[in-house]
Structure 1
Amino acid sequence: MIEPRVLLLPGWLNSDPDHWQSRWEALHGDQRVEQADWQWPRRGDWMARLDEVLQQDARPALLVAHSLGCQLVASWAAHSQHTARVRGALLVAPPDTEREDTPPQLHNWRPIRRPRLPFPALAVVSSDDPFCAPERGAQMAADWGAELLMLGACGHINSASGLGDWPEGRALLQRLQATAAA
């Protein structure tokens, strides 16, 4: 079986050097999907970029999304003809872009796309995420057909959460990969 590549999908403003995604990129050689505009992310542009990166390599992929990257996966999967290239998705800290206090830069990410994902997914939600109430995170996971893992009080599950290399997250990715291969 061909080993899938791991594509990192950061959220709004990208992942800083202390973020677990950046650490995984350095430690494991995962590939970050770079976007043209991290400040004013346009949903269609981000979807097109993900499609482009997936088609650059014939190997299947595991998507590792953080924050707005989770919304990217849901939006992309609802429209792309290349979803068969994805073996699974780890969706960490999906934000609620339909909240009243959502920054104007993210308004084009409304409404949240909610169709069931056509591949296995695991959604990791924090009980005190400042960008998404746990109930809303759980509802997105259910709509997407993703297994839900409530992580407890970990904020936005980013560098401010102090996770370091987040080996527990890597174990979740390995579990997802095993499930997808079964």
Structure 2
Amino acid sequence: MNDVITSPCAVLLLPGWQNSGPGHWQTRWEALHGDHRVEQHDWQRPLRGDWCARLEEEVLAAPGPVLLAAHSMGCLLVAAWAAHSRHTARVRGALLVAPGDLERDDLRQQIPGWAPIVRQRLPFPATLVGATDDPYCSAGRARGLAADWGARFVDLGARGHINADSGLGDWPEGRALLDELAAARPAPAADPLSS
């Protein structure tokens, strides 16, 4: 008998800049699996502190452990939030897909306030999925972020920004990666508020 998962995990979807549209895998997962999208107050002018505070609210509102499924700037949000939150023990794992390189000059000017990228090791298991031809983050940079965050790196090949334009549909392969994180044995230290 497998007793690894002691309670079900809520999946929090963390879109990037400008949110995720109708064909995006995050939107499809929301419809298919009942995952919960973390709605930000301003998708056009993202403020790192505001976005972190919003994620903190959602993690605390969840009835039990959570899984984070982040895309693009949502990956940077996970790192920034984890570096400051005292509730990271509530996170079973994080799927980080196509992080945006907001230290790049063109992107830093377009979306100010997110550089430097927080590179502290994540206190929960993580898998980072990157593409060889992502226009917003080179494969080398994605691998570097995975190493800094202590995340397993998965190379998806030439799939662009791993979004609606990538032709992933419901992206069952990504869901399988999330399920692997859900099945991972949680860290021994427990958040006192989670019981």
How high is the TM-score relative to the length of structure 2?
A: 0.91
- Partner amino acid for 1:116? R
Q: Contact conserved, 1:120 with 1:180, CA < 8 A, in 2?
A: no
Q: Using the alignment, how far apart are the partners of 2:69 and 2:178 within structure 1?
A: 8
Pick from 87, 97, 120 the counterpart of residue 125 of structure 2: 120
SS of the counterpart of 1:27? helix
What residue number does 2:109 align with?
A: 104
- Partner amino acid for 1:17? P
Q: Using the alignment, how far apart are the partners of 1:167 and 1:96 within structure 2?
A: 26
Q: Using the alignment, how far apart are the partners of 1:68 and 1:175 within structure 2?
A: 23
The Cα offsets for residues 126-181 of structure 1, whole Å up to 9 and x where unpaired, read as 00000000000000000000000011000000001111111111111111211245
Q: Using the alignment, how far apart are the partners of 2:99 and 2:163 within structure 1?
A: 12
Q: Using the alignment, how far apart are the partners of 2:124 and 2:76 within structure 1?
A: 15
Q: Using the alignment, how far apart are the partners of 1:144 and 1:180 within structure 2?
A: 19
Pick from 65, 76, 84 the counterpart of residue 81 of structure 2: 76
How high is the TM-score relative to the length of structure 1?
A: 0.97
Counting only pairs closer than 5 Å after superposition, residues 101-180 of structure 1 correspond to structure 2 as 101-102=106-107, 104-180=109-185
Question: How many residue pairs are counted as aligned between the two chains?
Answer: 182
- Partner amino acid for 2:101? D
SS of the counterpart of 2:130? strand
Give the unaligned 5+ runs of structure 1.
Answer: none
Residue 180 and residue 97 in structure 1: after superposition, are their counterparts in 2 closer, same or farther (change >3 A)?
farther
Q: Percent identity?
A: 64
- Partner amino acid for 1:88? G
Q: Using the alignment, how far apart are the partners of 1:13 and 1:55 within structure 2?
A: 24
Residue 110 and residue 103 in structure 1: after superposition, are their counterparts in 2 closer, same or farther (change >3 A)?
closer
Higher-Rg member (1/2) = 2
Residue 5 and residue 170 in structure 1: after superposition, are their counterparts in 2 closer, same or farther (change >3 A)?
same
Q: 1:22 Cα shift?
A: 0.1
SS of the counterpart of 1:76? helix
Instruction: Please say if 1:25 is aligned against 2:17.
Output: no
Q: Contact conserved, 1:41 with 1:105, CA < 8 A, in 2?
A: no
Q: Contact conserved, 2:98 with 2:131, CA < 8 A, in 1?
A: yes
- Partner amino acid for 2:33? H
Give the unaligned 5+ runs of structure 2.
Answer: 1-5, 188-195
Q: Contact conserved, 1:116 with 1:143, CA < 8 A, in 2?
A: yes
Pick from 50, 66, 69 the counterpart of residue 64 of structure 1: 69
- Partner amino acid for 1:89? A
Q: 1:44 Cα shift?
A: 0.2
